[in-house]
Amino acid sequence: MNEFERFCSLFDQEIRHTFDYLSLLEPGHWTGIPANSDALFLGSRIQKITVSALVRHLMHTEKTWIGRLETLAPGGVLPLPGPPAGLDTIADGKDLVEAYRHLHADNLAALARLSPEALKKELVFVDRRYTGMGFLWSILGHHAYHLGQIDLVMRQQGTEAPEFMEWPETARIVG
């Protein structure tokens, strides 16, 4: 398994694992505001974040970043993805998870179409230089960061989240 195949395997497992988390949410939990305290400070930018907003953010950033990687010129600047336009019309819960499943399948197909040149080329994102492959790993890190936030918000609302890294795949090597 090469590095790209390893990334695709782990990325797929991470997103599928996220679906396990989301399947446990009760309707009101999608929009619950996390409690902020001295013991748990989520930061000034995300005090009022909801699971619903986090999921939409993940969907939008993953689609945008993966979708632009092939066509971005070598040395090009990958812009911030902006607000998740078009996702606000999807209802929280099963509809949103189903939309994410379809988007994830599209992302996997887009990853499969990436050329070796796209993985090797340099790009700039928020004034940091990456190779295409390095940026893919950052996408996985970004997802894990926000999955941790989803986990915290779920637990604050009384829902025990799945154990992290207990991936859906058990029959073959993951990464």
Is 68 among the domain residues? yes
Work out the burial of residue 69: count CB atoms within 10 Å of its CB; fewer than 13 is exposed, 13-18 middle, 19 or more buried.
buried
Is 173 among the domain residues? no
| Tens digit of each residue's pLDDT (9 = 90 or more) over 146-158 | 999 899 889 888 9
Confidence of residue 171 (pLDDT cuts 50, 70, 90): confident
Collapsing DSSP states into helix, strand and coil, what is residue 55?
A: helix
| Tens digit of each residue's pLDDT (9 = 90 or more) over 77-103 | 999 998 888 899 999 999 999 999 999
Examine the pLDDT at 175 and tell me if it is beyond 90: no
Give the count of domains, the chain.
1
State both tokens at 90: 């999807």
Q: Please, which residues bridge with residue 124 across strands? A: 77, 129
Is 121 among the domain residues? yes
> Which CATH number is 145's domain given?
1.20.120.450
Is 174 among the domain residues? no
| Tens digit of each residue's pLDDT (9 = 90 or more) over 28-74 | 999 988 777 666 666 665 557 899 999 999 999 999 999 999 999 99
Is 27 among the domain residues? yes
* Contact criterion met (CB below 8 Å) for 120 and 133: yes
Is 91 among the domain residues? yes
* Contact criterion met (CB below 8 Å) for 108 and 12: yes
Domain carrying residue 49 = 3-156
**Model's pTM, two decimal places?**
0.92
Classify residue 171 by its DSSP letter: S
**In what helix (H) or strand (E) does residue 128 lie, and over which residues does it extend?**
strand 128-131
pLDDT of the residue at 61: 97
Work out the mean pLDDT of the chain and round it to a whole number: 91
